[in-house]
Amino acid sequence: EAGNDNNDPQDDADIADVTVDVTYDLALAKVVDATSLAADGLYDGTATFTLTLQNQGTVPSNDFTVTDWVPVGLTPVLPIPNSGVWSSGARTITWTVSNLDPGDTITRSYEVHVTDFTARPYRNLAEIS
């Protein structure tokens, strides 16, 4: 019978469900402008790391933090752009992002100097939390 809910013996009620696709999906990609640095005098090579953050989800991100761990042997050039906060003890740079709408992309970059070439190779990583 049209309009009949199997749980209702009457035909005066029916249920219609609506689903909402809610996907929270932030992505981070990181690149460095120089994968190999030449010693320029006192091995003070310079590199720039760029993080690209994108909301690949279907809802606004709200606040989130991006943390980048700077390896021993590299020292960031201060101040860190975009209100990045350098913690020398933890060797991290953090940025707080207030919101990223679905489909939006932002970048965060910073420059480092090589301060200890014996610590190479340098493995740098970042994450969203």
Is residue 101 over pLDDT 70?
A: yes
CB 97 within 8 A of CB 60: no
Q: What is the DSSP string of 61-78?
A: --SEEEEEEPPTTEEEPS
Q: What is the pLDDT of residues 110-122, one digit of tens each?
A: 999 888 888 888 8
User: Cα–Cα distance between 82 and 66 in angstroms, integer?
Assistant: 12
Q: What is the pLDDT of residues 2-41, one digit of tens each?
A: 555 566 566 788 888 888 788 889 999 999 987 766 655 4
Is residue 42 over pLDDT 50?
A: no
> What's the CA dihedral at 19, 20, 24, 25 to 10 degrees?
90
Q: Which residues of 28-61 are buried (b: 16+ CB within 10 A; e: fewer)?
A: eeeeeeeeebeeeeebebebebebebbbebeeeb
Q: Give the CA angle between residues 34, 31, 33 to the nearest 5°.
A: 25
Residue reference for tokens 């990583």: 125
User: Which pTM value belongs to this model?
Assistant: 0.79
